[in-house]
A and B are shown apart, each in its own frame.
Chain A
Amino acid sequence: MDKRKSVWNVVPAGGVIGMVALVGIAMVPVLRPFLIYAALLVVAYTMYKYLVIIGEAEGRIKALKLPEKQIKVQPQGPSFQEVLRAIPDPVMIVAGIEPDDIAGRWIVFANTAAQGLFRMDGEGGLLVSTIRNPEVLECVDEALFGGISTSTFYDLAGGARDQIWRAYASPLPVTGPQRLALLTLRDETDARRMERMRADFLANASHELRTPLASLAGFIETLRGPAKDDEKAREKFLDIMATQAERMRRLIQDLLSLSRIELNEHVPPSGEADLTLAARDVVDSVSLMARDKGVSLIIRAPKPGLYPILGDRDQILQVVQNLVDNALKYAVRGSEVTVDIRYDLSLEQAVAGSNSGAARLVLLRPDRNVHDFYAQVTVRDAGPGIRREFLPRLAERFYRVEGQKSGDKLGTGLGLAIVKHIINRHRGGLVVESQSSVTSDAADVLERTPNEKVATLPAATPVTFTAFSACFPQARAYGLGADTPRLVISDGVSRDLKDAV
């Protein structure tokens, strides 16, 4: 077997020899002075053996780190290590000695891609400190001690951005007690995502299109039959049919854009965008609608161009657009919808909300420790608010709050889902804060005392509102003393609106 010895094998051996020698010496009186020397000798020998063993153990551990052998591909070419480093897929070499020592697997080499993927500090370290997924660890063990090549799916959830990798482990030939295995990873996120998305899209689209389609078919039937010659009914029905067709068109458009966004969700956006510009564009485009509803739209934002965020301009615009659309939809006549932009916020500040005691929920939390500064846009309306218990399901596809009057047009329930996916792609965050008039406690009280006519002042109904805050990583910090978030009020109301209001 192996030649490894332990202290516990050596110490008794030294002890026995020492004892025999000592007894022998003690028998002969003349030799007694040597007794002390002999004892010292035994002690020294045992110490020496002990140190050798400790040294060997350390040596073995050191040996686990692969020496950088300069085996060249060509005489003047790169070494094999350098070749491995250049491979775009993550590649690691793992070493282990004992199968029982469950934590004893070391990474002895990791190429640049692997170090980047796992945010490693160097090329080595304990394997579990880098990968703790039990299935991958099992594959590695199979390769190390079973000599078999296997592979497994490996879900790598970094923040909210799920990636699906496939991990391959195969044994490497070595001599000696130490075993080596090669662990390579391949990104299969795209393939799997496509698959899942196609299924989702079909399911969603067919389900949601069924209702308007059924109604269209019904009207066509009526127009062909009973209402064939009824001029007035025909006009009315065609109107309804046009509305339904329009709804279907919007639905398909939303579904397609959602699919497109989802497809690119794990590809970080390139380019820079500006929240102030986006907010102005949106406010300008909806100003007519706001005037019709008698709602005043107010932007409070710094001058544009000061603090770019990392992002895709069209998508940022769509986020603001969807939030403002919702706010306008639920705002009551004569109220205000405000769009506030703040910047140089820390992550905690960005998801903190206004601390007003209203219900608040983080719908999407930004990745921690990735970015230092966030810019935030908050869209707030003084509408009826959303009850606390409905908050967690917002941003789920096709989710609409029950029993809510959504004004003139029925939404598709995809607006916030799109917002969330875009923000997710930008590694930002989304927080909702809302105060609704029917808090559940108040509702309980109302039910319990239905006909008590006590002449008390009615409890002040809380001011209801809904505020959605989206935050995005900034391309750079704007201020120097960046610890205090600032609210910069610029031109207040956008120009067209001053005329409109």
Chain B
Amino acid sequence: MGAHIVKTYQEELDQLSAEVVLMGGLAEAQVADAVEAVARRDVGLAQSVVQRDHKLDELEKDVERKCIRLIALRQPMADDLRKTVAAMKLATSLERTGDLAKNIAKRAMVIAEAEPMTPLTRSIERMGKLVSSRLRDVLDAYKAGKLDLAQNVWASDTEVDEHYNSLFRELLTYMMGDPRTISACTHLLFMAKNLERIGDHATNMAEHIHYELTGEDYVEDRPKGNTLNSIE
């Protein structure tokens, strides 16, 4: 190949957001597949999640490189600068999301060897669905440049916490009832924690989109439920 196509400034910016959306699609699929691997006890699927993670890492590096190049060579101003910075931040959040999904998938492989705990894995699945929908909404907001969509995601932050708290209690009851399940339950607990953090990344991304579109930081406090801080 070698030969460069001359890209206009606008094209470079567009390509940047296209790449972020592409990363978003990958991250979404990683989260969905990881959760499905837990629900269906599918070790093969979990393995492929782990194997695919490097794609997100590479894309993040690529986006970062492109952003820096753009800032250095084109010196974007105002809107364009915010767009560039937001792309970089989103890419970081998405890469982290991928790491968390990978972690869930790894744990899925471990618990697939233990006895099935259907009610618990179903709770994980439910939480996973919720987190995935937040991820999807925030990416739709980014793609369409719609402020209200991003704000909706931001405002519904506490729902994930509710699910997390409920699952936490459910797990405790389970572990106390049958100490043999403790090690598997611990894995489930960390999965829930990871999902909660993916939810937080969605909220972060909503904030970055808000910044991209308005140039202002979110001033209000985050809507936080009473989180259990005992198990960080």
Contact = CB atoms under 8 A, between A and B. Distances in A.
Contacts of A133: 25, 28-29
A7 B6 CA distance: 8
B146 to A, nearest CB: 8
B3 A6 contact: yes
A388 B168 CA distance: 12
A391 B166 contact: yes
Interface residues of B, number: 43
Contact of A389 (B1, B18, B166): B166
A132 B6 contact: no
A496 interface: no
B43 to A, nearest CB: 20
Given A8-B4, A100-B1, A391-B166, A157 B25 contact: no
Nearest to A136: B25
B15 A393 contact: no
B19 A388 contact: no
B65 interface: no
Interface stretch (B75-83, B136-144, B207-215): B136-144
B135 to A, nearest CB: 11
A57 B29 contact: no
Contacts of B181: none
Contacts of B156: 362, 365
Contacts of B143: 129, 132
A9 B5 CA distance: 12
Given A98-B1, A361-B159, A57 B7 contact: yes
Nearest to A50: B6
A361 B156 CA distance: 10
B182 to A, nearest CB: 20
A77 interface: no
B21 A393 contact: no
Interface of B: 1, 3-8, 11, 14-15, 18-19, 21-22, 24-26, 28-29, 32, 59, 122-123, 126, 132-133, 136-137, 139, 143, 148-149, 152, 155-156, 159, 162-163, 165-167, 169-170
A6 B25 contact: no
B82 to A, nearest CB: 19
A390 B18 CA distance: 41
Nearest to B62: A102
Contacts of B11: 61
A6 B8 CA distance: 13
Interface string A288-315: 0000000000000000000000000000
Nearest to B24: A132
A74 interface: no
Interface string A130-144: 011111010000000
Contact of B122 (A348, A369, A391, A396): A396
Contact of B162 (A5, A60, A391): A391
Nearest to B143: A129
B158 to A, nearest CB: 9
Nearest to A2: B3
A102 B137 CA distance: 23
A461 B156 CA distance: 29
Nearest to B52: A134
A49 B200 CA distance: 51
Given A103-B15, A157-B136, A369-B149, A4 B22 contact: no
